[in-house]
Amino acid sequence: MTSADALLAELEPTAAQLLERHLSSTKEWFPHELVPWSQGRDFEPDYEWSADEVELSDEVRSALFVNLLTEDNLPYYFRTIERMFGTDSAWGAWARRWTAEEGRHSIVIRDYLTVTRAVDPVQLERARMAQVECGEVPEPETPLDGFAYVALQELATRISHHNTGKLLEDKAGYEVMKKVASDENRHHLFYRDLVTAALEVDPSGAVIAIERQVRTFEMPGTGILEFEAHAKAIAKAGIYDFALHHDQILVPVVLRHWGVESLDGLTSEAEQARDALVKRIGRIGKAGRRFAARRDEAEALAAV
Ligand SMILES: [Fe+2]
Ligand SMILES: [Fe+2]
């Protein structure tokens, strides 16, 4: 048995409990009930989308585009998750449930966008094909890395969906994004608490994995066409940026909830990782404030 297998076996009862908590706190919901179908109409064969279809800033359109393409690709993470966790027991049950829920997210967001014409359906479909065909899926080194990455990523996705929804004038759009964000929160809680349990079983291994994942963190949309430009637009709209990443993820989860600064009994390698992690979080916070200040200045200038 490898150390990864031993860790998964030891954490399996926790995974079972967290799966149970997830299922009992989830209320069944249906994409078709949230989509404003009466706004829809047929697309003519020579239809060409124009931004005049819906009054919406380019930034919010970028966020909708990236959020949906991210959701489209998530079910393919199943390959990595199943390889890492295995098909049996609570691990397999969780991986399948999670995959089904992520699929529901792309269904509801796509239906909403198609009906409202908020984004170009041709561009969206081409980008979906490109995204899924390129097969970009994270490959964490160990299960601990996987737990830490997904704990951060699910919260990041939740924040991004929720902030996008808040910028939509349309009530139906707001409700769609809110519903998806609330699922992401439950996914985050599953992984966040799994990391908490892992910190008890193997604190040194867990801290090293957390440090590695914070250092290399990338949003799951990085395989998307022109992702950099979209990410800039998303930051400009205040939907997701370094400052949010620091204030709403790294500080409350890594520092406060996991309490990495007050862990005892670490190996010297883990001590070093913890030091590097805490320093990095401080630097990300500073960079976030600097970027936000620069953005504010540029906006003020543009307004003048
Ligand atoms: Fe999702
Ligand atoms: Fe999720």
Task: Convert the pLDDT of each residue in 26-35 to its tens digit.
Answer: 999 999 999 9
> Average pLDDT of the chain?
94
| Distance of CA 71 from the midpoint of ligand 2 (Å) | 8
Distance CA 68, CA 64 (A): 6
Least confident of 19-33, 67-81, 156-170, 215-229: 215-229
Closest residue by Cα to residue 285 from 253, 260, 248, 233: 248
| Distance of CA 301 from the midpoint of ligand 2 (Å) | 38
Global pTM value = 0.95
Tokens of 40: 């829809």
Which pLDDT does position 195 carry in this prediction? 98
Distance CA 216, CA 136 (A): 15
Distance CA 182, CA 185 (A): 5
Distance CA 43, CA 256 (A): 50
Q: Which region holds residue 297: left if phi is over 0, alpha if psi is between -120 and 50, else beta?
A: alpha
Residues within 5 A (CB) of ion ligand 1: 71, 102, 105
Closest residue by Cα to residue 161 from 96, 244, 97, 218: 244
Neighbour tally for 162: CB within 10 Å: 18
Give the pLDDT band (50/70/90) at residue 143: very high
Distance CA 29, CA 26 (A): 9
| Distance of CA 276 from the midpoint of ligand 1 (Å) | 31
Mean pLDDT of 202-221: 93
Tokens of 137: 């899926």
Q: Which ligand is nearest to the CA of 155?
A: 2
Distance CA 221, CA 240 (A): 13
Q: What percent of the chain has pLDDT over 90?
A: 81
User: What confidence tens digit (pLDDT) does each residue in 235-288 have?
Assistant: 999 999 999 999 999 999 999 999 999 999 999 999 999 999 999 999 999 999
